[in-house]
């Protein structure tokens, strides 16, 4: 498998036109993530890897596509991974489900319409102000980055950036702390021209306390100040409900394929 150089991303960009995802944009624009093909000379399909996500595009019936699916974990060291493809290309689903060594299983996600929203500033501030007493809402800094990268539940806040310096230079986020410990947050999981992808998570021990909503609202406020688009995609019904409360619009359910190098 061959990695696509940053200055050759235009050769594979048409393969991903049906996927409205900021992580794809971030990779194609050379910001973060990596792209792979079977052969750089007239590839028929391509793979983009960004953190825990694997995006497949191009001719799903080609030998190139079969090669990428079968050799996914030679370049993707995040296991499990979430496989995403153009929902109008169901052949990708059949292909990914046909590779038993990847232990594939179908998992639905809940799409949010990707557009420029006119968020209600007063409503966002109400969410920020509703943070429970005893918790602190603060911007990400070096110490919070270090905490986030240590634990599994919070690593996705920053893992697509190459370092703390890279995250603090190009990314940003808001964290809820309890006695100095990171317990919830929202961050720019990826960045691209004019926008970010929001990642929201809460430590298991602190869930159902309404901590994530103030973080997400503060992050959206910061995006508004910077005049960039805060993209959202919901992995579960809780995330979907939070997105709608913040002012996003629901697009519909779509299929992803969860894959792993080992049995899940």
Q: What is the mean pLDDT of the chain?
A: 95
Spatial distance between the Cα atoms of 137 and 183, rounded to a whole number of angstroms: 10
Q: What's residue 123's pLDDT? A: 98
pLDDT exceeds cutoff 90 at 79: no
Regarding pTM above 0.85, the answer is yes
What is the separation, in whole angstroms, between the first and last Cα of the chain? 25
pLDDT average, residue stretch 135-162: 95
pLDDT classification of 104: cutoffs 50, 70, 90: very high
pLDDT average, residue stretch 195-202: 96
SS (HEC) of the chain: CEECCHHHHHHCHHHHCCCCCHHHHHHHCCCCCEEEECCCCCCCEEEEEECCEEEEEECCCCHHHHHHHHCHHHCCCCCCEEEEECCCCHHHHHHHHCCHHHCCEEEEEEEECCCCCCCCHHHHHHHHHCCCCCCEEEECCHHHHHHHHHCCCCHHHCCCCCCHHHHHHHCCEEEEEECCEEEEEEEEEEEECCEEEEEEEECHHHCCCCCHHHHHHHHHHHHHHHCCEEECCECCHHHHHHHHHHCCCEEEEEEEEEECCCCC
pLDDT, one tens digit per residue, over 154-169 is 999 999 899 999 999 9
pLDDT classification of 264: cutoffs 50, 70, 90: low
């Amino acid at each position: 498998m061959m990695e696509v150089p940053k200055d050759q991303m235009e050769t594979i960009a048409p393969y991903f036109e049906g996927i409205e995802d900021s992580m794809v944009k971030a990779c194609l624009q050379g910001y973060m993530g990596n792209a792979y093909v079977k052969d750089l000379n007239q590839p028929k399909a391509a793979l983009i890897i960004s953190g825990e996500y694997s995006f497949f595009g191009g001719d799903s019936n080609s030998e190139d596509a079969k090669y990428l699916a079968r050799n996914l974990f030679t370049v993707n060291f995040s296991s499990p991974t979430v496989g995403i493809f153009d929902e109008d290309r169901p052949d990708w689903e059949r292909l990914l489900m046909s590779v038993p060594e990847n232990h594939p299983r179908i998992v639905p996600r809940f799409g949010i319409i990707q557009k420029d929203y006119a968020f209600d500033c007063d409503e966002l501030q109400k969410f920020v102000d509703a943070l429970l007493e005893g918790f602190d809402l603060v911007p990400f800094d070096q110490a919070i980055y270090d905490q986030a990268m240590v634990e599994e539940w919070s690593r996705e806040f920053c893992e697509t950036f190459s370092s703390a310096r890279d995250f603090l230079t190009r990314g940003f986020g808001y964290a809820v702390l309890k006695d100095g410990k990171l317990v919830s947050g929202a961050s720019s999981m990826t960045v691209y021209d004019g926008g970010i992808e929001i990642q929201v998570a809460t430590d298991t021990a602190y869930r159902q306390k309404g901590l994530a909503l103030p973080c997400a609202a503060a992050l959206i406020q910061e995006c508004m100040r910077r005049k960039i688009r805060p993209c959202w995609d919901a992995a579960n019904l809780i995330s979907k409900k939070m997105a709608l409360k913040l002012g996003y619009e629901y697009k519909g359910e779509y299929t992803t394929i969860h894959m792993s190098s080992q049995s899940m």
